[in-house]
Amino acid sequence: HGAYWNESHMALVHPRADAIRSKLIYTFYLIDHLHGLSHAVPHHNIRDFLDPKKRKKLMLTDHHQLVRFNVMPVRNVMVTQEKRWRNRIEVRCSHWPPFALWASWLLNTKMFNHFIIFLIALNMVVLMISSEIVERKESHFVKLNITVEVIVWVIVLVFWGEIILHWTVSFQQYWTNPWNVYDFTVTFISFVPE
């Protein structure tokens, strides 16, 4: 009776307590079923919930049944709990975050994306200026041509830096995006001599 009063009192204090309690009960039922301690058979699987018509019917009628989950491994290598804890401690105790994490953050910031767009526009303008003054032999045009070439090489090096940051985050995922392949091709061609 005391346990019932505590649960009712907790439900009054915390409105989500009843939902959490139900979720825990369902989880323990599922664990018992997976260990073979329960003879209850799940009536629905994950495909039933992915189909909108079946999901609506299940939510309106019978939402207390056990759900059978299709467990599919994502990794070829199992990550142990010990390794996961060790990685968390290393990240928390390190003075700097992991480089891949920092690179992912940098690539997703608006300021960095605006900076890259600005460099693309600047590169276009500089190449237009370079094509106009490349044949001129006056001394001030020669100095301007050298300055323009230095600016072009700095911009290309920044583009290579961006590509390397993408590779640091995920080398394989980089090649799945057609825009990245196009970007790499254009940047690589800029290194090819005329």
H or E segment and range at residue 100: helix 99-107
Q: Under CATH, which number does the domain 99-189 receive? A: 1.20.120.350
CA–CA separation, 34 and 30 (whole Å): 6
Mean pLDDT value of segment 37-61:
68
- Predicted pLDDT of residue 38: 57
DSSP three-state, residue 67: strand
Residue 113 has pLDDT above 90, yes or no: yes
When pLDDT is cut at 50, 70 and 90, the band that residue 73 belongs to is: very low
Tokens matching residue 99: 């480089």
Amino acid symbol at 10: M
User: Which parts of the chain are beta strand (E)?
Assistant: 44-45, 67-68
- Predicted pLDDT of residue 159: 94
- Predicted pLDDT of residue 143: 85
Q: HEC profile for 24-50?
A: HHHHHHHHHHHCCCCCCCCCEEHHHHH
Residue 126 has pLDDT above 60, yes or no: yes
Chain segment 136-152, per-residue pLDDT in tens: 878 778 888 889 889 99
CA–CA separation, 59 and 78 (whole Å): 35
- Predicted pLDDT of residue 158: 94
When pLDDT is cut at 50, 70 and 90, the band that residue 57 belongs to is: confident
By mean pLDDT, which of 52-56, 71-75, 173-177 is the weakest?
Answer: 71-75
By mean pLDDT, which of 67-71, 124-128, 147-151, 160-164 is the weakest?
Answer: 67-71
Chain segment 81-93, per-residue pLDDT in tens: 888 788 777 777 7
When pLDDT is cut at 50, 70 and 90, the band that residue 181 belongs to is: very high
By mean pLDDT, which of 15-29, 120-134, 159-173 is the weakest?
Answer: 15-29
β-pair partners for 44: 67
